[in-house]
Structure 1
Amino acid sequence: MAAGIDVCLSCFNGGCPGTPNNHAHQHAMKSGHHLTVNIRRVRKESDERPAKLTKLEIVEEPENDQYEFETFVRCWGCSGARVDNVPEDVQRVVHAVLHAVEASKGSEIKAWAEEVTACSHFDGLTQAPAADFSSEALHQCSMCDKRDNLWMCLSCGHVGCGRKQYDGSGGNNHAIAHFEQTGHRVSVKLGTITPEGTADAYCYACDDNKLNPHLAQHLQVFGINVAAQQKTEKSIAELQLEHNLKFDFSMTTADGTQLQPVAGPGLTGLRNLGNSCYLASVMQCVFGIDRFRDRYFPSAADHFLTCSQLHPAKCMLCQLHKLANGLWSGRYAVLETENGETCHQRGISPAHFKAMVARDHPEFASMRQQDAFEFLQHLNKQIDIAERPVEGGALNPTSVFDFTTEERLQCTKCSRVR
């Protein structure tokens, strides 16, 4: 049976109460904070089928819908004994802990959904139908035989097919070719126009799907009555959703063979916190380097005992040791058996590490997508700062990235170097 997690009722530090680490007990001995609340979750039995997806979004399912929570107060000054008669003031603190927002959520919204916004390029649009424009020509690309995935330029009425997709489907790029030739920035996808005045609109200047608040007015210039239109093609959001639903998330090879899940040291995944793939990819690569692994993994337990920082969440080195232990101990890469079937390991959440490394950086602290190389550079700076007080920085693993450069001036005639 899982031991759950103990939350200190004095400083709210979280620690595991079980073997082999028993960080809850170690924290109590270091801090003198003996009272904790133990929180253990038990998965609920459910026969309900997952709700059908209706739009492109990622929504984190509330834990209360998946688990039941069991709690009790523990005193580490009494060898971790359970406290049965809990004083009222302690009960209030326990209640506050149980209803507190998770550190991993903070003030950020974890649920992600595609949001289409308007842009200024649709405002005050100059429209002049081309001399050869004809409403009868709206059913075929003006440059090829494509009759679906057609985009009409809202400036001149040119009809071009959409972009070619990686799998060979889609169009022949004639709509974007028209933009590159003329500079006409906005278009609408024919076949997605509804009587309610909605349709897929695209701005090539912004290079993104956009909302056109003047759609009916713009289409009227070309003799298209929005109220009389019927949607005949799937929107971009519907196509993306369909692709995601059909995608085999069980992971298969090119020939259709299902990949077998693996487990063990160095085979632990990092959970996605919401657009955190850049962080996961960098940290997996970094801890695949011997210098980083040897610096933070073997000494993880010793560092926690000797660290002067009472709160590990505020110590960069604590978080690096914690992450190294999570990735390389093998304890968190165990194949689980659920409902009689073997499933992939759940991985670990780098929420506290992300909060620590990104606390003074407005971009990395956000939930937006980021550049992996920029994050690696920022990470190295943070590690440099944290490692300086430790033996004068002699243990700093980022030295593996150091290199020297040499500049020289050479005469092209005599080849002498200065």
Structure 2
Amino acid sequence: MAAPMSLELLKNLPSPRVPHGGEKVYKDECVFCFENLESKDGLYICMNTYLGFCKDHVLPHFKSTTNPLYLQMKVIKTKKPKEEVEKLEKPTRLAIGVEGGFDVEDENLYDIQEINTLVVLPDRAEFPLPNPELPAEIQASIAGIIAADSASRQEDVAAWDGDQKFISKHSENLKQLDNGVKVPTSGWKCSRCDLKDNLWLNLTDGTILCGRRYFDGSGGNNHALDYYKETGFPLAVKLGTITPNGADVYSYDEDAMVDDPHLAKHISHFGINMLMMEKTDKTMTELEIDLNTRVWEWDAMQEAGSKLKPLYGPGYTGLKNLGNSCYMNSVLQVLFTIPDFVQRYANQVEALFNAAPPDATGDFNVQMAKFGHAILSGNIPKHQLLITEIVLKMKG
């Protein structure tokens, strides 16, 4: 039961910090376990350090810091009706957490109710929010914490924004041969094979060649890449993606998709009027999005059509795959089958937690112990599995 406290007494407490742009606010999960905003008691965010804790781990933090003010944040999610979900727009950008990109949290699939409370420790006095009578400094800190992107979301967006490009070093002074080549506006074909799609125009001499062969045998025959190795001509534009707004440009020398500010001039050298072009082929970003949203791989992993009994309990906790983290997930699962590793990081959790530095978010021992205990104990509720997409068995 929360102890009573008057608003007047709040004025005698130390003022909290007010987060400004770019500061990390750890409001995704507890520093020492995987309790999160959807847990029964949500998370307690220290209004001085911006570290988040579950109900069990917040008191030790208070005792070590004597910071009395915490913002308790809790979320209740209710799945939206199927017809509402079907109306959602598909991703148009290979990025996470930005407009047009993938939604890490699947927020569009749920109606979300947020419950925020100011909590004062050690008595656990509670002040439901919003409350206009709170001191101005406390209100400013609360508003800043609620508005800030969580630390993990900042990292996800930075790591996954596949649309970030740089200007090619070859763009400014690209050498173009006066060889009389004029390229038609349609009807293209690879100069070395019969492929008529996934074609790239070399911006040095106007040669049209097919793109790379994908892992499944589709795509091209690698002729554009082979041509670069033979000639050293660095830039190519993907035919079919040219529009008045730009196109896909690849730098073989820099091994990356790049921006070419002089693209209109470079393609006009071969008789192509950029303003008259229409998109007829998928961009590389669209192709990658297709790969990341295809259903058949997921169906294959789940053995669609088969009757399987899900496993759950100690040693059977899964890990969430962010799209390209399945290899790391499998390595971690294997590591925690090694007895010495289990003894070091899963069987000595309390000792490692007690030796934690003030900010344990980046401490290897603490975070590895947190992880090991979670996947081996079986204490993670089914609805809070560390992983929902990929479950790797650790036994049998």
Q: Note closer, same or farther for the CA distance 1:300–1:95 as it changes in structure 2 (3 Å cut).
A: farther
Report the Cα distance in structure 2 between the residues aligned to 1:279 and 1:209, rounded to whole angstroms. Answer: 26
Q: Which runs of 5+ in 2 are unaligned?
A: 1-38, 98-102, 389-396
Match of 1:223 in 2: 271
Q: Which is greater in Rg?
A: 1
Report the Cα distance in structure 1 between the residues aligned to 2:213 and 2:223, rounded to whole angstroms. Answer: 9
Match of 1:388 in 2: none
Asked if the contact 2:47/2:141 (under 8 Å) is kept, the reply is no
Matching of residue 202 in structure 1 with residue 250 in structure 2 = yes
Q: Note closer, same or farther for the CA distance 1:170–1:216 as it changes in structure 2 (3 Å cut).
A: same
Matching of residue 188 in structure 1 with residue 188 in structure 2 = no
SS in structure 1 opposite 2:375?
helix
Match of 1:55 in 2: 93
Asked if the contact 1:269/1:346 (under 8 Å) is kept, the reply is yes
Aligned residue identity for 2:385: Q
* Mapping of residues 119-268 of structure 1, within 5 Å: 119-130=168-179, 133=181, 135=183, 139-194=188-243, 196=244, 198-248=246-296, 250-253=298-301, 261-268=310-317
Q: How many residues align?
A: 332
Asked if the contact 1:138/1:159 (under 8 Å) is kept, the reply is no
Report the Cα distance in structure 2 between the residues aligned to 1:33 and 1:122, rounded to whole angstroms. Answer: 55
Higher relative contact order (CA 8 A, sep 6+): 2
Q: Which runs of 5+ in 1 are unaligned?
A: 337-343, 349-418
Asked if the contact 1:265/1:329 (under 8 Å) is kept, the reply is yes
Match of 2:53 in 1: 15
Report the Cα distance in structure 2 between the residues aligned to 1:11 and 1:124, rounded to whole angstroms. Answer: 50
Matching of residue 291 in structure 1 with residue 331 in structure 2 = no
Matching of residue 40 in structure 1 with residue 74 in structure 2 = yes
Q: How many percent identity over aligned positions?
A: 31
Query: Offset of 1:119 from its aligned partner?
Result: 0.5
Query: Offset of 1:263 from its aligned partner?
Result: 2.8
* Mapping of residues 59-70 of structure 1, within 5 Å: 59=97, 60=103, 67-70=112-115
Q: Note closer, same or farther for the CA distance 1:138–1:125 as it changes in structure 2 (3 Å cut).
A: farther
> Which one of the candidate residues 151, 154, 157 is aligned to 1:104?
151
Report the Cα distance in structure 1 between the residues aligned to 2:222 and 2:233, rounded to whole angstroms. Answer: 15
Aligned residue identity for 1:2: K
Query: Offset of 1:116 from its aligned partner?
Result: 2.8
Query: Offset of 1:269 from its aligned partner?
Result: 4.0
Report the Cα distance in structure 1 between the residues aligned to 2:170 and 2:310, rounded to whole angstroms. Answer: 49
Report the Cα distance in structure 2 between the residues aligned to 1:210 and 1:43, rounded to whole angstroms. Answer: 40
Q: Note closer, same or farther for the CA distance 1:81–1:140 as it changes in structure 2 (3 Å cut).
A: closer
Report the Cα distance in structure 2 between the residues aligned to 1:148 and 1:218, rounded to whole angstroms. Answer: 21
**Structure 2 length-normalised TM:** 0.68
**Structure 1 length-normalised TM:** 0.65
Report the Cα distance in structure 1 between the residues aligned to 2:154 and 2:183, rounded to whole angstroms. Answer: 51
Query: Offset of 1:121 from its aligned partner?
Result: 0.9
Asked if the contact 2:96/2:156 (under 8 Å) is kept, the reply is no
Query: Offset of 1:281 from its aligned partner?
Result: 5.4
Query: Offset of 1:219 from its aligned partner?
Result: 1.9
SS in structure 2 opposite 1:110?
helix
Asked if the contact 2:356/2:363 (under 8 Å) is kept, the reply is no
